Amino acid sequence: MFKKILVANRGEIAMRIIRACRELNIATAAIYSEADSTGIYVKKADESYLVGPGPVKGFLDGQQIVDLAKRIGADAIHPGYGFLSENAGFAHLCQASGITFIGPSPQAIHLMGDKIQARNLAKQVGVPIVPGTEQAVTSADEALAFCRSAGYPVMIKASAGGGGRGLRVVRSDQELSASMDTASREAQAAFGDGSVFIEKYIDRPHHIEFQILADRQGNIIHLGERDCSIQRRHQKLIEIAPSLVLTPELRKEMGEAATTIARAVDYDNAGTVEFLLDQQGRYYFIEMNPRIQVEHTVTEQITAVDIVRAQITIAAGRPIEFKQSDVTLQGHAIQCRINAEDPRNNFRPVTGKITAYLSPGGIGVRIDGAVYKDYDVPPYYDGLLAKLTVRGRTWEETVSRMHRSLEEFVLRGLKTTIPFMEKIMEEPDFRAGRFDTSYLETHPDVFNYDEHIEPEDLVLAISASIAAYEGL
């Protein structure tokens, strides 16, 4: 087993990895920027190292991270999600430097990093894909020809895309060429690759994804699915497991489709195979994420499998400790992303100091957090403050438990998604399990929530604006 793991990430996922390492008796080394020096994970790791320059570059400088790992005697690197987690070059650099990259092979990362290649692979192994172009679309004529034969609406997608960037829904010939340009420019800026392709737009689908585990001995299993249909701007906000719309037969079929894709790329470690499920119950592969995902907690809560532990033991060369037939899905789980953002203001990110913090507790409640009272939320990173995951025996119990936990959650000093999430937990369609990816557009009432502003927050907000006004 590894002696020391360098955690090449920050925030809640760095904490999550440190926790798994502690249970495995593996030492941890954290990296941080000056802007992130007050993060909890920096204090909880056995060692921590300042990396720069600036708030972000140090987390993206693969060579510096590998050199650091060698210098401090770390034998493995866990990339978490984001940053270098889907960078095949970094995985390769680790390999070439004799350090284990906790994730799949550079080849698998490379292949899955390109949505066009991934779609073609899925098609080859007989897994349905969304009807779309087989290659990147480079001319307006090609785009027009596809859209006229497939019919509108369509979705333009960046081949290198992720996090909802480079996606555009197009409803007419008139919009097509401008949307192609914007999607391509957005993709070029975000991913350094402007290639785009076009898919038929599926009407009000469910986003269903399967969690995969694969070891170096050739065992590939899945841990069931998550339904991540509650999204804003095509980015996930609330995730549940299991899906409320899958029959056991469909679960089996989609689970097999997911493992088939993993096998086709000789996949090892944890990964997620994403599908859309349409209103008629037909499913389509959309992409595979070769890393741990934010929403892995809901799967852990219903399977009792520690996915990060499995990532580490698999990377150390051990076989998965159980078989597909040992995996059972018990009860229901919901995760709410507690973000520093203002849902009513188009989910605009906010920053500020946390003036009060008390996390919820009690039966079935799990917090994966990264903040505390007096923590100043920096503006440079994603605004995920904490993940609240609850588990219950029935769906109804789980929703009530989430509502109660959100009510109990004290996190003051800046706007968060807590009151908005509370409102969703009260909304009849959500409570009845009736939701798909159109949920937020079709339920504008969930934005009419009560902000729960405490008197002391008002005083703080007013003094902050006075200070800003006076230029203090």
What residues line the site for ligand ADP (CB under 6 A)? 130, 155, 161-165, 167, 199, 201-202, 205, 207, 231, 234, 274, 276, 286-287, 437
* Nearest-approach distance from CB 255 to ligand ADP, in angstroms: 19
Token pair 């995902």 is at which residue?
293
d(CA 132, CA 182): 19
Residues 225, 241 contacting (CB under 8 angstroms): yes
Query: Of 231 and 359, which has the nearer Cβ to ligand ADP?
Result: 231
Reference 419, options 430, 408, 429; nearest CA is: 408
* Nearest-approach distance from CB 332 to ligand ADP, in angstroms: 20
Answer yes or no: 148 catalytic.
Answer: no
Strands 341-342 and 365-369 come out as unpaired
d(CA 452, CA 126): 51
- Within 10 A of 468 (CB to CB), how many other CB atoms are there? 9
Query: Of 58 and 161, which has the nearer Cβ to ligand ADP?
Result: 161
Reference 36, options 19, 17, 14; nearest CA is: 14
* Nearest-approach distance from CB 117 to ligand ADP, in angstroms: 14
* Nearest-approach distance from CB 190 to ligand ADP, in angstroms: 10
d(CA 143, CA 140): 5
* Nearest-approach distance from CB 445 to ligand ADP, in angstroms: 21
d(CA 274, CA 295): 13
Query: Of 198 and 411, which has the nearer Cβ to ligand ADP?
Result: 198
Query: Of 286 and 292, which has the nearer Cβ to ligand ADP?
Result: 286
Query: Of 170 and 286, which has the nearer Cβ to ligand ADP?
Result: 286
Active-site residue identified among 119, 232, 251, 291 = 291
d(CA 4, CA 326): 31
Reference 84, options 39, 117, 51; nearest CA is: 51
d(CA 472, CA 468): 6
d(CA 285, CA 265): 15
Question: Which positions are annotated as active-site residues?
Answer: 291
